[in-house]
Structure 1
Amino acid sequence: MNIAFFGSSLVSAYWNGAATYYRGIIKTLHRLEYSITFYEPDIYERQANRDIDDPDYAKVVVYQPSKNDLGKCMNQALKADIIIKASGVGVFDQELEEEILKIRKPDQQIIFWDVDAPATLDRVINNSDDYFRKLIPQYDQILTYGGGKPVEEAYRLLGARDCTSIYNAFDPETHHVVKPQEEYVCDLAFLGNRLPDREKRVEQYFIEVARALPDKKFILGGSGWDNKALPDNIKYIGHVPTKDHNAFNCSPLAILNISRDSMASYGFSPATRVFEAAGAGACIISDAWNGISEFFKPQEEIIVAHSPANVKEVLKFLNKKRAREIGQAALEKAQNSHTYDHRARQLKTILQPKPSVV
């Protein structure tokens, strides 16, 4: 079965938090004998910052951000059994979301895969004239990588035929335990790009905590923080390539997860980094959000901080032995429940072509 997949980027994680999610999902689909062509635009310097070569589990087509190049890709996609349009491609999103519905063949399944459902829903619900609102009922299926029942019900209220959450997970071949590296050793590390609906929470749960604990060492990774005022005990290291994520997760005493505002408000939206860190056996401290206990057991497999003050208290008393115990428990839960092979059980029943019209 052939799938045409339009997304932000499969080969570059640069300013592209969905990269490892796409890789895990698509690698799993390949194992299930799907043939995937991934179409991604040459934008945001991603091709100059590739962190993997073209994989053997998908054909990657890089197109220029022009309507001519996009048209060629869409003509190729017409041959597929299934066309998937992911949110946040970064260029011609509206055109893609409208046109694949217009050019569809009767036996094609057309899917919208929302990798930022809380933000999409907030936009559509608060603007009745949003172009995407009228498109929702036309897709055969809406998939999201988080949000659970609140997001699924919100999409159905907007007319979606069906909506299913395919949660983040981890690929054990990519994310696993490695030896700590000195450059990443610290008391608490956070990895995340600087985004408007995350920055305030990063200030509260990470930067202000560091200021209050000058005897502790902190590391900040991710793009966009260059000109952010930071205390002396935070080391900013910029973009962290995927190949270094295991070392980044295994070296600190603890790893911090901070949700974006929109995802925290809906809940049931564990970030990719949570599963990657768990797969590396990291001790994770996470801000609190509804549904977290459905993925990891609070205070045993993950430390849940209900406020920045909680983060300070945890760091004052957390020792290496306890951190190892929590990290090992998280690793076992991730291996038993949160690999992309687990997610494949859902996908296999959803990604079915429509019967041919005779």
Structure 2
Amino acid sequence: MSDRLDIVILGLSITSSWGNGHATTYRGLLRELAARGHRILFLERDVPWYAPHRDLPNPVYCETELYQSLEELRDCFADRVRRADAVIVGSYVPAGVEVGKWVTRNAGGVTAFYDIDTPVTLAKLSRGDYEYLSPDLIPAYNLYLSFTGGPTLQRLEREYGSPSALPLYCSFDPSLYYPEPQPPKWDLGYMGTYSDDRQPTLNELLVEPARNWPEGRFAVAGPQYPSSIEWPDNVTRIEHLPPAKHREFYNSQRFTLNVTRDDMIRAGYSPSVRLFEAAACGTPIISDAWDGLETIFEIGTEIFTARSREQALQILRQTDEATRLSMGNRARRRVMSEHTAAHRAEQLERYLLSARAARPDFGEPKTRDERLFSDESRCLPAGGRE
């Protein structure tokens, strides 16, 4: 039995990184899976808000197809789903519950739900919000691949009936994120889309330190911040930074700030991709505190934590240069040894092969649903839409 897998992934978007952190994760993971010899088809709903912002319309490491409706998905890709060794459905896929039910009924191989938003997903489920996942669908997937580790994995199995909940953290691409020594433009920077629950911490750990240290230089990059926010004069606002500019941004800071969403803090064990990207650049990180952070970095030697503006200012103003550089270098060594996209691809491959080996019936064709093959002439040629 070959260890080279035919994998179908239905995800939010790989073609556009506009307002979409999923794209970075998918790009690195799929590139490394392809490097390991696996064949990948990525299926993405063709939605109008990504169409003008496709910065990677045709990745070279996978097939990419766009579909406009559930009917088109079923008509055009049912055979690929049925014959694949593994089919993975990601969080926030449009009509994700309907997609997931179709996949789990028709796939002949391993099925998995890839949750890039686990704490948000569980909070939505607790409110009865089944936007892309429902409680009854969780046991139908063979694997639940989670961006969150720790106790959440046991909760997914015990409370929601997942046959196997496994951690699959985010990762970074070492070819894109690395140190570029240069004179710093800012003492502290932050990158992230506006969210109500992150703003109080951003205010406490960056905006207020900026007000209290007029000589300091600060930056906030990201879209959707309300015009009502009054930024101090020493805070540079950058509306949007494409991925190609992320490395330069991190390398332009003496320190970078990590702020975690409330759902992630409550769940713990939910590292942001920004943590890994900044560390890969050797930029020292100041983070809010949450359970499980100590399993990712050694606090005090690989990462700083701050709970107040006073603590943030103390780090910024009193850390000597040798300590600052040493902190960044140690964090970089840590992520290079544990958190690259290659590490995640190897981990995912191991999960899928183990699940396939445990079930000898995987791969056997399921009952053919004639309706799903009723009009294959409507399918688009390879490459999706321009």
2:370 equivalent in structure 1: none
1:98 matched to 2:98? The reply is: no
- Compared with structure 1, are the counterparts of its residues 129 and 278 closer, same or farther at alpha carbon in structure 2 (3 Å cutoff)? closer
Any residues of structure 2 matched to 1:4-153 within 5 Å, and which? 4-43=8-47, 45-64=49-68, 66-72=69-75, 74-75=77-78, 76-89=80-93, 91-105=94-108, 108-127=109-128, 132-145=134-147, 147-153=148-154
Q: After superposition, what is the alpha-carbon deviation per residue over 1:117-137, rounded to whole angstroms, capped at 9, x for unaligned?
A: 011112223449996111111
**Secondary structure of the corresponding residue to residue 346 of structure 1:** helix
Q: Hey, what's the Cα distance between the residues in 1 that align with 2:312 and 2:129?
A: 40
TM-score, normalised relative to structure 2:
0.84
Q: After superposition, what is the alpha-carbon deviation per residue over 1:237-256, rounded to whole angstroms, capped at 9, x for unaligned?
A: 11111111111111111111
Percent of aligned pairs with the same residue? 30
1:333 matched to 2:358? The reply is: no
How big is the shift at 1:39? 1.3
Counterpart residue type for residue 23 of structure 1? R
**Secondary structure of the corresponding residue to residue 202 of structure 2:** helix
Contact 1:189–1:218 (Cα < 8 Å) also in 2: yes
Contact 1:218–1:233 (Cα < 8 Å) also in 2: yes
- Compared with structure 1, are the counterparts of its residues 309 and 51 closer, same or farther at alpha carbon in structure 2 (3 Å cutoff)? farther
Contact 1:179–1:247 (Cα < 8 Å) also in 2: no
The more displaced of 296-305 and 44-53 is 44-53
Q: After superposition, what is the alpha-carbon deviation per residue over 1:34-75, rounded to whole angstroms, capped at 9, x for unaligned?
A: 1111112233632322333522211111233x3333334542
**Secondary structure of the corresponding residue to residue 148 of structure 1:** coil
Any residues of structure 2 matched to 1:194-343 within 5 Å, and which? 194-225=194-225, 227=227, 228-343=229-344
Give the root-mean-square deviation of aligned CA atoms: 2.2
- Compared with structure 1, are the counterparts of its residues 128 and 10 closer, same or farther at alpha carbon in structure 2 (3 Å cutoff)? closer
Q: After superposition, what is the alpha-carbon deviation per residue over 1:194-226, rounded to whole angstroms, capped at 9, x for unaligned?
A: 123323322332223322322211111112125
Contact 1:74–1:100 (Cα < 8 Å) also in 2: no
Any residues of structure 2 matched to 1:165-180 within 5 Å, and which? 165-180=167-182
Counterpart residue type for residue 286 of structure 2? I
Contact 1:121–1:154 (Cα < 8 Å) also in 2: no
1:355 equivalent in structure 2: 360
Counterpart residue type for residue 203 of structure 1? N
How big is the shift at 1:270? 0.8
Between the two proteins, the alignment pairs up a number of residues equal to 351
Deviation beyond 4 Å, 4+ runs, structure 1: 128-131
Counterpart residue type for residue 35 of structure 2? R
Q: Hey, what's the Cα distance between the residues in 2 that align with 1:41 and 1:179?
A: 40
Contact 1:4–1:80 (Cα < 8 Å) also in 2: yes
- Compared with structure 1, are the counterparts of its residues 68 and 291 closer, same or farther at alpha carbon in structure 2 (3 Å cutoff)? same
Q: Hey, what's the Cα distance between the residues in 1 that align with 2:328 and 2:280?
A: 9
Contact 2:150–2:268 (Cα < 8 Å) also in 1: no
Q: Hey, what's the Cα distance between the residues in 2 that align with 1:333 and 1:97?
A: 36
- Compared with structure 1, are the counterparts of its residues 279 and 128 closer, same or farther at alpha carbon in structure 2 (3 Å cutoff)? closer
Structure having greater relative contact order (Cα 8 Å, sep ≥ 6)? 2
- Compared with structure 1, are the counterparts of its residues 308 and 355 closer, same or farther at alpha carbon in structure 2 (3 Å cutoff)? farther
**Secondary structure of the corresponding residue to residue 98 of structure 1:** helix
Q: Hey, what's the Cα distance between the residues in 2 that align with 1:318 and 1:52?
A: 40
1:193 equivalent in structure 2: 193
Contact 2:297–2:331 (Cα < 8 Å) also in 1: yes
Unaligned stretches of 5+ in structure 1? Answer: none
Unaligned stretches of 5+ in structure 2? Answer: 365-386
Q: Hey, what's the Cα distance between the residues in 1 that align with 2:53 and 2:180?
A: 24
Counterpart residue type for residue 142 of structure 2? D
**Secondary structure of the corresponding residue to residue 186 of structure 2:** coil
Q: Hey, what's the Cα distance between the residues in 1 that align with 2:23 and 2:204?
A: 27
The more displaced of 158-167 and 14-23 is 14-23
Q: Hey, what's the Cα distance between the residues in 2 that align with 1:221 and 1:62?
A: 30
Structure with greater Cα Rg: 2
Q: Hey, what's the Cα distance between the residues in 2 that align with 1:36 and 1:141?
A: 18
